[in-house]
Amino acid sequence: MTKLTSLSLAILLAFNLTACNDNDDKDESSALPETPTTPAPEPETPEEEVPVPKVYLDENFDQLTALPAAWTTLRSNAGTVEVKDGSLFIDGRANDTQMTTLMLSPEYQKLRNYRIDIEFTYLERNNGGRWGSIIYRAADSYAEPAFTPYYQFAIRADAAGASGLELALRQPTNAWNVLHKSAYKENMEVNKSYKATVIVHGQRVRHYIDDNLVLDTTLPYNLDQGAIGLSTAGLLMKVDAIKITEQLDPLPESNRVTEIIDHNLPVSMAPTIAQPAPVNGISSTAATHIAYQLDEQLNLLNTEQEKVMALRDYLNDSTRRTLPLLRIQNEQTINKLKTLGESYDLADITLLSDQPELLRKARIAIPALRTALDYSKQTGLSSSTKDIVTIAHNTNSSLAKIVILPKHLVQTEVVSHLQRLLITPWANLDSSSPLTAAEFLSTGVNGIYTEQPDSVLSIMKLMAPNTLLRKPLITGHRGIPALEDENTLEGTLKAIQVGADAVEYDVYLSKDNHVVVMHDSTTTRTTGVNAKIEDLTLAEIQNLRTIPNGRKVPTMDEILAAVKQYPNVTNFIEIKSSKPEIVPKIKELLDKHNAYDQAIVISFVGDQILHMKNEIPGVSTGYLTSTPTAQSNIVNTRRILDAAQKYSSTFNPSFSGLNKELMMMASQRGVTFWPWTFRLNKDDFYRMYVQGTHGLTTDYAHESSNLAVKLNTASQLIATAGKPVEINAEIQTQIGTKSNYLVKNMLVLPNSAKYTQNGQGLTFTEKGTAYVMPSYQYTMAPNYTYTIYAKPVTVTIQ
C-alpha cells in the first residue's frame, strides 16, 4: 500500500466515525467515552514444516506372485529365491558357506541415508552357525564380482553366541573382513517372526533386532552409497515385509568417550574418585564421577532428591569433564533409558544399585553401559572367605565388575582377594578425615566414593612418582615355561613356589569328557605325539609325556587339588576348547573342590564367556584379545569398553600397544588390565609394572620373586620434638621373604603437628599429634623405580 492510499483511508475512516456521531445538541456530559484503540495483532509466523521422510519401498508381498522385474538374483546363488503365498522365500540350505542372494531394484543404489526394516522368520537351518543377512551400500552389478564390495548385517541362527551378530565387509577378493561381532540376548527360534533394522547416515550405522540396539558404530570404509539386498547361507528365510525409508536425522556420534579431568597424579593407575551430587550444585573438580539419583523421567537428582537437570541436558553438555554414576531403583527407569539409547550414546554411563537382579536386567536391556553394585550399606557381611566369595558372586551375577564395599570391609586382605578374583572394589568413604582417607588408599582399592574428594586427591598429589598403592599381580603363564615344562603340575607348583599370585593353564575336553590341560589343539609340539587332544581319551592322554622333562599331562582336577593348598593363589583357567559342554564340566570341578575363592575363567572364545555367564554366573571372566590400534586413546578407550562391557569381563590383551594414558582412561571407568605374555624383553615387564598394571602374565615368574611389595610398620609411634623421626619397618617381597628397614622418608598428612623435612629426614618442631605414611623406594632396573607406602602411623610428639 502506498503512503497516499494509507492517508486517504485514514481520513475516510475519521470522517465516517464523525458522521456516525451526528447528535450535535447532545450534552457533552452524555457523550460516550472514546473506545481505546487495540493494537493490531502481530501476524502469525507460519509453523515451519517438519520434513517427512520419503518411503522408497514398502512391500509386504501380498499382491505379488513373482519377484519384481527390477530385482536381481545372482548367478552364483547356491539356492533359490521366490515369492509365494504372500511372502518372499530365500532358500540357502543348499550350501552352508556359498550364499543365496537377492538384490533389490537398482534405483536404490544412489541412496545414502536410509533405514531398512525387514520382518523375517527362519524356517529351517542346517546348523546354528548359519545366517541370514541384510546387504547395504553394495557396488553395482557391473562390479567384479557383482555387487562387491558391500556391508552385511548377518544374524546367525545361534544369535546368542559371541559371533551371533556380525557387521562384515565383503571384499572384491570374496574374502570377509569381520568388523564387529556381538551376541544377541537369545537365539533365533525356528518359525518365530523377528524384525531386523539397519539405519545408516553418513558413516554412522546402527543395527537392531526387534528394536533392540545391537550395534552402534562408524563405518571404516568410504562406501557412501550403494545397492541393497538380502542373503542367506545354510538356512531357509521367509521375509514378510521390506521397508526402506529416508533417514533425515544424523545418528549421534559414537566410538568416543568423555574426556575427563587428568590430574597428572604421581600414583600409577590411581583410584577413581566418585562424588555424590552436592546440594549446592557445585561438584569438586577432584572427582571423575558424579553420582545422581535417576528418576523415572530421567531427571538427575541430588542427595536431597532435588532435580539438578535432565539426563539429556547432562549428556548434551560438550564442556562436561565428568562421568555420570546413576543410581536406579526400578525397571521403569531402565525402560526409559533404553528408549533414550535410541538417540543417545550410553556407553560411558555407569548404573548403580544395591539390587543385583535390577543391574542384571539393566545390562541385558542396554548392553552398552556398565554397572556397579552398591554394597556400602551391607553391614551383615564379614571378611570371611565365604562372604568375599558371596560379594564376588553377586557382583558377577549382576553383570558388573565394580562393587562399593562397606566401610568395615575396606581392608587390604579383603580388597586384594577380590582383586585376585577380577572384581574392582571401591570404598565408601564417609569421613573428611585425612587419616581415614589415607587408610583407605593404603588398602589398594580401585576407587573411592566420597563427599570429600579433595581430601583424597590432596593426599595422592603428595606421593612420590610411580607410587604403587596396589600391587600388580603376577600370573605364571602355563606355569613357568622358563624353568619347567608348560602346563604341567610340576610347572604350576614351581610358579607358586617362586611367588606367583596366580597360575594360568589351558583346558580342553577329552574324548571321554574329562577336562585336560594342554595349550595346543594337538599334542605334537609338547609331547611329540601327533594327535588332536580332543580326539584322545583320558587314558590315552595320561600315557603321554611332555618334552623335555617327561612330565604327565595333567587334568584340571589335579591342578585344582594342588592349588587348593595355597589359598592366596588364583587359578586362571583358559578355555581353549570351542565345545560348550566344557563349561558344565568346569563347574563340576569347581563344585568338587569348592574352588570359587580361587578360580576365574579367561578365553579368546567369546561364546565360551557367554556360556560361563549362563552356567556359572558368579565366576569372573577375562576376555583375551588384542589392544586397539587407533591413533586416539579416546577412540581406543571406547573400543576397550565395547569389548569389556560386552562380556562383563576384564580386559586381557597382548601388551603390545598398551600405554599408560590408555590404561588410566579405561581404568577410571572400572576396567582392569591383565596383559600377556612377558618373556625375554624385561623392559616391557618393568614398564608395565611401574605403570601399575593390574596383572602381568609372564613365562618368567621367578624374576619377580624379589620385588618389594609391602611395607609393614607399627600403627603407633612416640617421637621427640626437634629430633629426626625414624620408624622401624619390615619389607616383604613377592616371594614372601622379609627384611628389616629403617624408614626415614615419609609422607606427612594434613592436620599434623608442624615439621621440617629435607634430605636428612623428618623432624617435628612442636609437640602434638601427627599422621605419617612411611615409604620405601625400589629400583627394578635403571629408569624403572617405584614407591610403596605403609599404612598410616599415628605419631605422638613429646
Query: What is the C-alpha to C-alpha distance for residues 364 and 371, in angstroms, rounded to an integer?
Result: 11
Tell me: pLDDT of 371 over 90.
Answer: yes
Query: What is the C-alpha to C-alpha distance for residues 620 and 649, in angstroms, rounded to an integer?
Result: 7
- Please compute, for residue 408, the number of CA atoms within 13 A of its CA located in the half-sphere on the CB side: 9
> pTM value?
0.79
- With vertex at residue 133, the alpha carbon angle to CA 128 and CA 139, rounded to the nearest 5 degrees, is 145
- In this prediction, residues 294-321 reach a mean pLDDT of 93
Asked if 144 and 234 count as a contact pair (C-beta separation under 8 A), the reply is no
Q: Which CATH architecture has domain 55-246?
A: Sandwich (2.60)
The runs of H, that is alpha helices, within 517-632 are 524-527, 538-542, 556-563, 582-593, 606-615
- In this prediction, residues 664-691 reach a mean pLDDT of 96
Name residue 136's beta-bridge partners: 151
Q: Give the contacts of 417 (CB within 8 A, at least 6 positions apart).
A: 385, 388, 568, 597
Asked if 745 and 763 count as a contact pair (C-beta separation under 8 A), the reply is no
Choices 3.30.565.10, 3.20.20.190, 3.30.700.30, 3.30.43.10: CATH for 272-461:
3.20.20.190
For residue 328, the model assigns a pLDDT of 98
Q: Give the contacts of 184 (CB within 8 A, at least 6 positions apart).
A: 155, 159, 160, 164, 165, 209, 212, 214
For residue 683, the model assigns a pLDDT of 96
In this chain, the answer to whether the domains covering 55-246 and 272-461 adopt an identical fold is no
Residue 421 C-alpha cell reads as 578374583
DSSP secondary structure letters along 528-555: S---BGGGS-HHHHHT-B-TTT-PBPPB
pLDDT tens per residue, range 514-528: 999 999 999 999 999
For residue 254, the model assigns a pLDDT of 65
- In this prediction, residues 351-370 reach a mean pLDDT of 95
**What CATH number should be reported for the domain whose range is 473-704?**
3.20.20.190
Residue 180 C-alpha cell reads as 564387529
pLDDT tens per residue, range 387-399: 999 999 999 999 9
Query: What is the C-alpha to C-alpha distance for residues 374 and 377, in angstroms, rounded to an integer?
Result: 8
pLDDT tens per residue, range 402-437: 999 999 999 999 999 999 999 999 999 999 899 999
For residue 47, the model assigns a pLDDT of 62
Tell me: pLDDT of 4 over 50.
Answer: no
Query: What is the C-alpha to C-alpha distance for residues 798 and 784, in angstroms, rounded to an integer?
Result: 39
| Domain boundaries defined on the chain | 55-246, 272-461, 473-704, 708-797
Q: Nearest to residue 766, comparing CAs of 728, 797, 738?
A: 797
For residue 626, the model assigns a pLDDT of 87
Asked if 789 and 773 count as a contact pair (C-beta separation under 8 A), the reply is yes
* Ramachandran bin of 124, using left for φ above 0, alpha for ψ from -120 to 50, beta for the remaining angles: beta
Any idea which of 35-39, 243-247, 309-313, 617-621 has the lowest mean pLDDT? 35-39
Tell me: pLDDT of 383 over 90.
Answer: yes
The runs of H, that is alpha helices, within 398-485 are 412-420, 434-442, 453-461
pLDDT tens per residue, range 674-684: 999 999 999 99
Q: Nearest to residue 694, comparing CAs of 647, 645, 743, 655?
A: 655
For residue 209, the model assigns a pLDDT of 96
- With vertex at residue 47, the alpha carbon angle to CA 43 and CA 53, rounded to the nearest 5 degrees, is 160
Neighbours of 579 (CB within 10 A): 15
What values do phi and psi take at 704, rounded to 5?
Answer: -100, 0
